[in-house]
Structure 1
């Protein structure tokens, strides 16, 4: 095995984490940027901009579910490929890559058929009105045709990052972002296609990114190559990958359900202003969590490779670096939000009433953000070390066991029910992080003990 294949197990962990995390954080921010630019273009369509933007907004829960299916395969397959690389079993690692590639293609075909046949009904169930359904349906029909590109871009890029090629992974996102930003005005305005033009620009951009990914993985510069004889479905190889990917799948797919529950409860107690403030809160939370997720994704190849190599001290050291950086970031961001919440709220609205409401809502909703770095570090390490059961448990506990019921329970326990809805988030986070930390402390220690015994 060439020395360059072993750098995940030999370079200093701190230096390696910086090398891998910075490009993954940049990729997350670039991805968010071009999504925002996309919506800005749509919102400025002459005459129908507001309705078009609302219609595309209704598509977002459906798009999140499509992305969740990519995570189901890639977020489990990529860490398991890294673990096998650490073991020196590159044959199995390439079998995982080829099997996940084929499985994503098959899932893409099924999702495309479902979206084309039942997309309009799904959009109506997610809140499209008579005024916005045509815009939403027009966007989704074209987007559905590019589902395979979305799946392959998100899924295969994870295998690039999992090998330590973080900069190549960042370029995948950057290529798609630049293409989308350039093509949007051409199709939307010059060609007069409106929301269909925005969807077409997205499909073409994702297609270019997908080609970039597949070409790199099939080329000679990668450690794991996508080979024709490895593109097969083997249950023994793929089922553990799917099991490990269930945690990220639950986290992403449940966001649409959580959003509906939050909005319905807020509409009941606070009206449109409360719902608008929640949109600001969730946007701030999503944007704030991107660097944290990028840092965790940068640590994943290091943890997985060294876990496979049975290097317990290095796995422990990687977790400590990840935990320290994640907590420092989450505490710093929490302090900033608590001190100047208006700096975030004013990014999304200039309405004085909404801005004043959003300031208080942000302080409550993000009240436990300072400990969320612990949750991310523990959950990613569960995934990185192949612990599917624990990764699923912590995801389900936080989202379904705690947050969903608390959205409806907490408002009845406080004097102002509308603030109780926002309070459900930090209450759920405090309990979930405590549970995760206790579970992680027990399982991680035992996992490292087993590694030390196997050396």
Structure 2
């Protein structure tokens, strides 16, 4: 289920890569460099998908620390290979793509060695690779909200790039990339909290231990949203400091990036609330509600993204996501409160020795 879609994705990206970049308004060197990077990723799509999925498998095999170690090894390797390929070998964006693929594949191979090793608590045999449509359907259904969450990220990038090229220029796109890196840093942290919460919530909820279920949810919200609020405040107070990691000596990019951080990321912690809520709903078997939140989060941005710039110009593009997130916060909060009231009505199991 990873290899087959990976091959299909490779073919799609190789044949439509230029069209996808052109649709986002890429021209000249931006189009050239973009496709240089994209074609390397396209050829290696199955490995890229595998590197994303394998750490989750290891987590469920009770080896989260080892999975994190392999991911750190891949990240450090990526940095070193970027320096080698781009600075010394002058491979430009092709080198960046190769560094990404090689490092992610290395992390994936290390994880697979553990999964198929005797130390793994689950021994995988050749017969386990036989196709099972019933299990495949259950996997797809349970992971649908996560799928749409990643589609939402891709959709957001495409839509914003299109609007930035329409109301701004390539420097605006570069500033959006910087804001995106800073957003992704928080998003991945809160996603780690959410995915770490899921198996614990599922266990407590399955045991009908509702107090413990809510306690875990509260802790995830405390660290996910609380940490997000601190991170957001740091970005708003010191935007030039964070932008300085990316802009170098480009003064125009620095000015735009600082402005972007201030108006694009003031409601960043709200995204953490959505991620944790969706993970909680998945964990208690309400995946369809998590899917609804993800789809609504995607669709609600469209009117803001295409209407606000008509009145505010490029600032309307920057404000579209935080404003739409604040609007969506209200119904999602109501949904979560109703869900908690619903699980409060679940009767605790009668002890066997009663």
TM range (shorter): 0.7 to 0.9
Equivalents in 1 of 2:109, 2:142: separation in Å?
26
1:351-377 alpha-carbon deviations (Å, 9 max, x no partner): 445434443432222222344442222
Taking a change above 3 Å as real, the CA distance of residues 141 and 262 of structure 1, as seen in their structure-2 partners, is closer
Shift of 1:280: 3.1
2:296 corresponds in structure 1 to 397
- Tell me whether 228-237 or 381-390 shows the greater mean CA deviation: 228-237
Instruction: Kindly report which structure 2 residues correspond to 1:4-43, keeping only aligned pairs within 5 A, or say none.
Output: none
Which of 367, 387, 401 is the equivalent residue of 2:286? Answer: 387
2:118 corresponds in structure 1 to 220
Instruction: Tell me the C-alpha RMSD between the 2 structures.
Output: 3.0
Say if 2:8 is the partner of 1:110.
yes
Instruction: Kindly report which structure 2 residues correspond to 1:50-449, keeping only aligned pairs within 5 A, or say none.
Output: 103-131=1-29, 133=31, 135-187=33-85, 194-271=92-169, 274-349=172-247, 350-400=249-299, 402-412=300-310, 416-447=312-343, 449=345
Shift of 1:184: 4.3
> Which runs of 5 or more structure 2 residues have no equivalent in the other structure?
none
Equivalents in 2 of 1:213, 1:117: separation in Å?
31
> Which runs of 5 or more structure 1 residues have no equivalent in the other structure?
1-102
- TM-score scaled to structure 1, two decimals? 0.68
- Tell me whether 165-174 or 132-141 shows the greater mean CA deviation: 132-141
- TM-score scaled to structure 2, two decimals? 0.85
- Tell me whether 369-378 or 245-254 shows the greater mean CA deviation: 369-378
Equivalents in 1 of 2:84, 2:244: separation in Å?
30
Shift of 1:381: 0.9
Tell whether the 8 Å contact from 1:398 to 1:429 is kept in structure 2 after alignment.
Answer: yes
Taking a change above 3 Å as real, the CA distance of residues 257 and 376 of structure 1, as seen in their structure-2 partners, is closer
